[in-house]
Amino acid sequence: MKGGATGGVGGLGGGGSSYAFPAKRRWRGLVIGVLGLVILSMLVPLVFLLGLHNGFHSPGFASEQQSAASNAFRAYDKLGIRDSSNNSEGDQSGHVNDLIRRLGPTLSKDMFKNSSNEPKNGTSSVGSGHSNEPKRGFSVPHQEVPQSSLATNNTSRLGAVDEGGRQCELKYGSYCLWRRVHREEMKDSMVKKLKDQLFVARAYYPSIAKLPAQDKLSRELKQNIQELERIFSESTTDADLPPQTEKKLQRIEAAIARAKSFPVDCNNVDKKLRQIFDMTEDEANFHMKQSAFLYQLAVQTMPKSHHCLSMRLTVEYFKSPFHDMELSHSVKYMDPALSHFVIFSNNVLASSVVINSTVMHARESANLVFHVLTNGQNYYAMKLWFFRNTYKEATVQVLNVEDLNLDNDNVHLSLPVEFRVSFHTIDNPPTAHTRTEYLSIFSHTHYLLPKFFQNLNKVVVLDDDVVVQQDLSELWSLNMQGKVNGAVQLCSVRLTLLKSYLGENGFTFNSCAWMSGLNIIDLDRWRELDLTETYQKFIKELRTQEEVSEAAALRASLLTFQDLIFSLDDAWTLSGLGHDYELDFRAISKAAVLHYNGNMKPWLELGIPKYRHYWKKFLSQEDQFLNDCNVNS
């Protein structure tokens, strides 16, 4: 029984086991097949996302960088700066030119030159005047002028080139030279190298991930990408980078080199690298425009310390009881037997340096009378400053041009006007080059001098950006031979070069342009010829012709004094200390007057450092207001 029972159970068990195992195998096969299908259905979109999709959109750091650059451009577009046509490398020359044209009031006074024989990408200049008076700029069309006809030929200045091999002064005016001299060492050079390698690794990773036999290389690329992304989340400069960064850079470079050795989808890599190139190009273009804009802002804006000084002096003037402080000198102001100097300025310190340097080198300071003409905003600050500071025995009068009772209504202060002219000089075609010169001429206010000083016969006009190094008393004994304006002439710019601006007739082609800065004016002869009326007539004629006002001012000044310039010796004035880095120090030491014409005025941080001490040594160092406003720091 037992045996039979046992055998029956054993038989039953054996029969059940033989039928159950095949069923289990079939069930397991079904499960494995379903799981395989599920996994395959998940892998297909995953491969698409990591592969094809990644060829058009870079995750992580790259997308954040691109978003940041796009946001920055959208913000900058509010200023009307970005060129919407930035589509190709061929548009690079148009970017900066369009920037300058569209910067609004800050740069609207600049005109740029694109001559036919210049490089295809063009050259442009950015210039401005001093303080609140923007500098005018324009370029003269191609003129064939023998090199021997130029009185000065400082080719050393034209040797300065930018990164593209173009001459600095022609591309950005003084800005290019300033940028080259003040270039700072990059603090994120290693970070930029790592970013470049990260971009390249992202470009190759999707293609390598599709190669089944390169799983190890794919994992290595992915690991390197993730590691660099983690570094960039914590580091922005080289000083923030963790240790062993060099080794990490070498590892990702080796992985990229291996990835490049395999046949990959070139279209995918090309699209990714082109996306990176466009993003980098946009970012570089943005920074270039921003840098030029900020440079213009810096040279056209009064420094914070100077603004502080003017405000402090104005407040102190109304707190002090010295409102009639000039009455004791009223007789000297109208005495034609004395030496009268005229300065048009809205800068307290600049005017002070001009007066101090003139008095320090004068043999007899008691005969010197300075008339500082300013606007209502700076009038009270000027009055208090020149009351607190004495200049030996010289006399200083401060006048507000807006309060002077003249026949002309609404008189406003205008400072000397600066023009930047570029033109071709040709001796023979292989040596042809382009020259750039800075012209400084009288403003509209200068032509009211005979009305401002009706009792005077002769005055010396000084710009507020000059420093006097010698006695100027010889100017009063000059025989001007019936001329009106004694000035240093700039014969490197002959009027024939300005023919398109002056017209075909009405002037002598071989005559030279003249410079303001130091001018001896015969007021009697001026009144006799009624040059003020002549100037105003030229201005009206040119404006009715819808001409540009800056060019109209230059033409009107040159035509008004046509054949009425008494040429001073070149040793009287040395110009260019506000834009030329290559002036000879021997010429500087011998010049009677140093003229800081150009963008880089000596009171600005942008001023050329090696010339600044000539100006700064005549600045008062002990005044309490200067210390309070950190002017001397």
Q: What is the pLDDT of residues 117-133, one digit of tens each?
A: 333 333 333 333 344 44
Domain extents for the chain? 2-50, 51-106+184-301, 323-621
State yes or no: pLDDT of 552 exceeds 50: yes
Res 167: pLDDT: 54
Taking alpha carbons only, the member of 630, 632, 611, 628 closest to residue 620 is 632
Q: How confident is the model at residue 439 (pLDDT cuts 50, 70, 90)?
A: confident
Q: What is the pTM of this model?
A: 0.64
State yes or no: pLDDT of 106 exceeds 60: no
Q: What's the rounded Cα separation, in Å, for the pair 22 and 16?
A: 11
Greatest mean pLDDT among 104-108, 360-364, 512-516, 554-558 lies in 360-364
Q: How confident is the model at residue 87 (pLDDT cuts 50, 70, 90)?
A: very low
Alpha carbon 123 to its chain's center: 15
Region 371-390: what's the mean pLDDT? 92
Q: How confident is the model at residue 259 (pLDDT cuts 50, 70, 90)?
A: confident
Place of tokens 């040709």: 426
Helix (H, G, I), strand (E, B) or coil at 384: helix
Q: What's the rounded Cα separation, in Å, for the pair 457 and 335?
A: 10
State yes or no: pLDDT of 115 exceeds 80: no
Res 581: pLDDT: 87
Res 397: pLDDT: 94
State yes or no: pLDDT of 183 exceeds 60: yes
State yes or no: pLDDT of 284 exceeds 60: yes
Taking alpha carbons only, the member of 517, 627, 510 closest to residue 572 is 517
Res 15: pLDDT: 43
State yes or no: pLDDT of 546 exceeds 60: no
State yes or no: pLDDT of 403 exceeds 70: yes
State yes or no: pLDDT of 174 exceeds 70: no
Res 545: pLDDT: 58
Res 566: pLDDT: 94
Helix (H, G, I), strand (E, B) or coil at 486: strand
Res 152: pLDDT: 34
Res 149: pLDDT: 33
Average pLDDT across the chain, whole number: 74
Q: Which string of b and e fits 566-594 if b means at least 16 CB within 10 Å? A: bebebebbbbbbbbbbebeeeebeebbbb
Res 455: pLDDT: 92
Query: Higher-confidence residue: 443 or 273?
Result: 443
Q: How confident is the model at residue 383 (pLDDT cuts 50, 70, 90)?
A: very high
State yes or no: pLDDT of 522 exceeds 90: yes
Q: How confident is the model at residue 66 (pLDDT cuts 50, 70, 90)?
A: very low
Digit-coded pLDDT (tens) for 556-612: 888 889 889 999 999 999 999 998 888 999 999 999 999 999 888 999 988 888 999
Region 320-340: what's the mean pLDDT? 77
Region 338-353: what's the mean pLDDT? 95
Query: Higher-confidence residue: 438 or 576?
Result: 576
Say if residues 462 and 481 touch (Cβ distance below 8 Å).
Answer: no
How many residues are listed for the chain in this entry? 633
Query: Higher-confidence residue: 354 or 607?
Result: 354
State yes or no: pLDDT of 71 exceeds 60: no
Q: What's the rounded Cα separation, in Å, for the pair 108 and 102?
A: 8
State yes or no: pLDDT of 527 exceeds 60: yes
Q: How confident is the model at residue 151 (pLDDT cuts 50, 70, 90)?
A: very low
Res 25: pLDDT: 59
Say if residues 588 and 614 touch (Cβ distance below 8 Å).
Answer: yes
230-235 contact pairs (CB < 8 A, 24+): 231/194, 232/61, 232/191, 232/194, 232/195, 232/198, 235/191
State yes or no: pLDDT of 241 exceeds 80: yes
Longest alpha-carbon distance in the chain: 158
State yes or no: pLDDT of 447 exceeds 70: yes
The CATH number for 323-621, chosen from 3.40.50.2000, 3.30.70.1140, 3.40.250.10, 3.90.550.10, is 3.90.550.10
Question: Residue 371 carries which side chain, given as an amino acid letter?
Answer: H
315-321 contact pairs (CB < 8 A, 24+): 316/384, 316/625, 317/380, 317/381, 317/383, 317/384, 318/380, 320/384
State yes or no: pLDDT of 85 exceeds 50: no
